[in-house]
Amino acid sequence: IVDEVQDSSTNLTDDEAVEQFRLHWLGRKQGRLKAISDAWLKSAPADAKKHIGQRFNKLKEEIDRRLESAGNVGISRAQLAAEAIDVTLPGLRRPLGAEHPLIKTMNEIVSVFQAMGYSVGVGPEVETDYYNFESLNFPPNHPARDTQDTLVIANQERKPLRDRLLMRTHTSPVQIRTMERQPPPVQIVIPGKVHRNDAADATHSPIFHQVEGLCVGPKITFSDLKGTLDHAMKAFFGSSVKTRFFPSFFPFTEPSADVQISCIFCGGTGCRKCKHSGWIELLGCGMVDPAVFALVQAKQPGYDPKKVSGFAFGMGVERIAMMKYGISEIGQLYSGDMRFLEQFA
């Protein structure tokens, strides 16, 4: 029968002949192979089954081989040609995603400090009262707590105050978490999301982003703070930007300062953006309060307020992104509107 296969396969030159050959041998109902299987294989006595099976498989292989060399593996040539891929055609380019302007701004701020040797850290958005307030020298019932518009987690009243959970109102708790984990010296920046019970308007959002900074070591001074932030602002906004420092208050820094930069829109001559003052307020900072070190010292003895000093700073990323890109509505940063976002791709 194998000879028969060979004989019947000499003229497989077109699709029609190949299909004829395939039907003759492999046809599901009338095919020779099925007839042979029915007549021989199925009824073979048990001891002959193996032998007959082997020959049957040889036959089947021969048929498959013929079909294959005729270019037919169950698909017609016409179909193959229709499905062929022209590998010389140019590919389809998928549109690439791009960094969101807010994240881009945050990453740029972070890398300015990384270039000065700062490492990068993160911390939890759901914090305890201890890390968000108490460890930062906001005693219970201290009026400075009211300035933070805190969103608290429900059903915490049965816990001691310091263990109660809340949404962190600033990234400063990560200062404490960092120092508790790591002995001095420390140079770290902490980007992250913060939450405040603020009504949303053109420039405020109840969820926004900050970049926190902390530098601690022997003999860190206010001059280091000024030099570092002045350099950072010049690196970020351009070398012609000037900075100035105003007295301010934060419970965890003493002295504290607000930093202003010369207006990046008018260069300091006065315009609508800087309310004609020539200056724009950008961040809060100060020397770490010794009371903060004293609390950390219980867990990391290296933070002896007599042996180390340090500075910290914190800035709002949305404000900076809006200034940098001339965005007037904070909500646009969260809209996910591609027409807006594509401008920054």
* Binding track over 209-248 against ligand PHE, x by CB under 6 A: ---x------------------------------------
Q: What whole-number distance in Å separates Cα of residue 215 and Cα of residue 55? A: 84
Nearest to 129 by CA among 166, 155, 158, 154: 166
Q: Is 85 left (phi over 0), alpha (psi -120 to 50) or beta?
A: beta
Known binding residue 254? Answer is yes
Q: What whole-number distance in Å separates Cα of residue 259 and Cα of residue 212? A: 14
> Rounded to the nearest whole angstrom, what is the least distance from the CB of residue 213 to ligand PHE in the complex?
7
Q: Is 192 in the site for ligand PHE (CB under 6 A)?
A: no
> Rounded to the nearest whole angstrom, what is the least distance from the CB of residue 120 to ligand PHE in the complex?
16
Size of the residue set binding ligand PHE (CB under 6 A): 11
Give the rounded distance of the alpha carbon of 151 from its chain centre.
25
Judged by CB under 6 A, the stretch of 80-88, 127-135, 221-229, 282-290 that binds ligand PHE is 282-290
Alpha-helical runs (H) found in the chain: 2-8, 15-26, 32-36, 46-69, 77-83, 101-114, 129-132, 173-181, 222-237, 290-297, 317-325, 338-341
Q: What whole-number distance in Å separates Cα of residue 293 and Cα of residue 102? A: 33
> Rounded to the nearest whole angstrom, what is the least distance from the CB of residue 276 to ligand PHE in the complex?
26
Judged by CB under 6 A, the stretch of 159-167, 198-206, 278-286, 329-337 that binds ligand PHE is 278-286
Among 118, 237, 250, 293, binds ligand PHE (CB under 6 A): 250
> Rounded to the nearest whole angstrom, what is the least distance from the CB of residue 86 to ligand PHE in the complex?
60
> Rounded to the nearest whole angstrom, what is the least distance from the CB of residue 164 to ligand PHE in the complex?
19
Among 72, 135, 137, 172, binds ligand PHE (CB under 6 A): 172
Q: Is 106 in the site for ligand PHE (CB under 6 A)?
A: no
Q: What whole-number distance in Å separates Cα of residue 295 and Cα of residue 164? A: 19
Return the number of other C-beta atoms located less than 10 Å from residue 167's C-beta.
19
HEC readout, 70-117: CCCCCCCHHHHHHHCCCCCCCCCCCCCCCCCHHHHHHHHHHHHHHCCC
Q: Is 314 in the site for ligand PHE (CB under 6 A)?
A: yes
Q: Is 123 in the site for ligand PHE (CB under 6 A)?
A: no
Nearest to 285 by CA among 249, 326, 235: 249
> Which C-beta is closer to ligand PHE: that of 268 or that of 310?
310
Q: Is 313 in the site for ligand PHE (CB under 6 A)?
A: yes
Judged by CB under 6 A, the stretch of 33-41, 73-81, 222-230, 312-320 that binds ligand PHE is 312-320
Nearest to 284 by CA among 215, 216, 210: 210
> Which C-beta is closer to ligand PHE: that of 229 or that of 264?
229
Among 312, 320, 322, 330, binds ligand PHE (CB under 6 A): 312
Q: Is 178 in the site for ligand PHE (CB under 6 A)?
A: no
Q: Is 208 in the site for ligand PHE (CB under 6 A)?
A: no
Spatial CB neighbours of 11, under 8 Å, sequence gap ≥ 6: 17
Q: For Cα atoms 140, 145, 147, give the angle at the middle one, nearest 5 degrees.
A: 165
Q: Is 25 in the site for ligand PHE (CB under 6 A)?
A: no
Residue 75 DSSP SS3: coil
Nearest to 314 by CA among 214, 220, 230, 223: 214
Among 286, 318, 320, 330, binds ligand PHE (CB under 6 A): 286
Binding site residues, ligand PHE, CB under 6 A: 170, 172, 212, 250, 253, 284-286, 312-314
Enumerate the known binding-site residues: 254
